[in-house]
Amino acid sequence: MEFIYSILILIGLYIIIAVSFDLILGHGGLISIAHPIFVALGAYTSGMLSMYFGVPILLSILLGAVFSTLASIALALSSLRVSGDYLLIASIGFQLGVLQIIKNLDFTGGHTGLINIPSLIEGPHRSLYYLLFVLAVAALVLIGVRKITYGDYGRAIRAMRDDEVALVALGRNIASIKLTLFAVGCGLAGLAGGLYAHYFLYLTPEQFEILESAAILTMVVVGGIASTWGPVVGALIITALPQTIQFLNLPPSINAPLQGLLYTTLVMVFLFTRPQGLLAAKEMGTQVNRKAPPTDSVEFNRGASV
């Protein structure tokens, strides 16, 4: 049962991460893939604050999220002068650079990782209570992101994604919108990182490598980019399905690569059979119908599609 709970907790955490990433990528159109590094910063900050300085765990999780927000502002201020594929490449450089720093510092545990992180909830029903807590946070994040993206501000965000020049002509400050999206999205990723650290109690830099970026990106694309429930479904499928192999009780040397093969095959199948994602965004769906191009993909106004 513990195993099932830990998978469900992981799904809850990935829902927070995928929804926050979709806010930046899907709604904002900002192609940065450094999201796992903000999860890492939240996790490491929270873990170290509680371990070394005795900060209460809930407070350290919040401070971890704040630190991720500040780091994201630092990235955004320097890198939002470029966009598209260049922003994607710059974000890879940022992610790998920060990871390299984490790997080389003694107080972060270096390559071996940070161990003995205190648990947020103790007791015999630790996992069940943690699951309920994580799901409650995930639900709040989902509601919050939906509120941001469906209000007046949401329309401004979509307008920025679809036509930056037109929005500037209307007198809106797009730099502030981009900065806000980055800060909110990455802060939520940091929150998920803190929650991760105080349940799994162990962190290594390898958990936040470039392959993790691909996994989160995949959750958003498979679920349905810029839709409310898409990243939720994507997180559920991409996290849960490869775990089914665990029940075959295979030796670890076969189990791990087989899980990886299942995951990558799943992604490729979804990428080619349902490129718009399992739950395509409503507003985009109508846009596709209105323009009626004979394509099997979601079309953005900027002339390219997923």
Partner 1 sequence: MTISFYVIYWGVNVLKLPAYAAFCLSLVITIVCGLGIEKLAFQTLRNRKALGFTFFIFTLIVSEFAAYLITLLFGTEPFTVFPYIFSPVTPYAGIIISQWDIQAIFMTAIVIAAVYGLLRWTKPGKFMTAVANNSRLAELYGISSANAYAMSICAVAILSTFGMYILGTKIAVTPHFSLGIIIFAVAATVMGGIGNVFGAAMAAIVLSLVQGFSVLVIPSQWQNLLLYIFFFIIIIFMPSGFGQFVRVLRGKSG
What minimum distance in Å lies between the beta carbon of 261 and partner 1?
5
CA separation for the pair 126, 5 (Å, rounded): 10
CA separation for the pair 208, 224 (Å, rounded): 23
Q: Which of 104, 112, 244, 286 binds partner 1 (CB under 8 A)?
A: 104
Residue 214 in the binding site for partner 1 (CB under 8 A): yes
Run of H or E including 285:
helix 282-291
Residue 275 in the binding site for partner 1 (CB under 8 A): yes
Are 301 and 288 contacting, i.e. CB atoms less than 8 angstroms apart?
no
CA separation for the pair 236, 204 (Å, rounded): 23
Rounded to 5°, the CA angle 242-248-254 comes to: 70
Residue 88 in the binding site for partner 1 (CB under 8 A): yes
Q: Which of 6, 180, 297, 301 binds partner 1 (CB under 8 A)?
A: 297
CA separation for the pair 283, 40 (Å, rounded): 33
Amino acid at 301: N
Q: State the angle between helix axes of 174-200 and 2-22 in degrees (0 to 180), rounded to the nearest 10.
A: 170
CA separation for the pair 181, 183 (Å, rounded): 6
**Which region, judged by CB under 8 A, interacts with partner 1, from 6-14, 116-124, 149-157, 265-273?**
265-273
Residue 112 in the binding site for partner 1 (CB under 8 A): no
> Using CB under 8 A, which residues numbered 127 to 166 contact partner 1?
none
Residue 31 in the binding site for partner 1 (CB under 8 A): yes
Q: For the window 57-76, what string marks contact with partner 1 as x by the rule CB under 8 A?
A: --------------------
Residue 253 in the binding site for partner 1 (CB under 8 A): yes
- What is the dihedral sign for C-alpha 216, 221, 226, 227? negative
**Which region, judged by CB under 8 A, interacts with partner 1, from 170-178, 193-201, 255-263, 284-292?**
255-263
CA separation for the pair 103, 101 (Å, rounded): 5
Residue 256 in the binding site for partner 1 (CB under 8 A): yes
Residue 96 in the binding site for partner 1 (CB under 8 A): yes
Judged by beta carbon, residue 86 or residue 107, the one nearer partner 1 is 86
**Which region, judged by CB under 8 A, interacts with partner 1, from 66-74, 141-149, 162-170, 256-264?**
256-264
Phi-psi region of 128 (alpha: psi -120 to 50; beta: other; left: phi over 0): alpha
Write out the residues near partner 1 by the rule CB under 8 A.
25, 31, 33, 78-79, 81-82, 84-86, 88-90, 92-94, 96-97, 100-101, 103-104, 210-211, 214, 217-218, 221, 253-254, 256-258, 260-261, 264-265, 267-268, 271-272, 275, 295-297, 300, 303-306
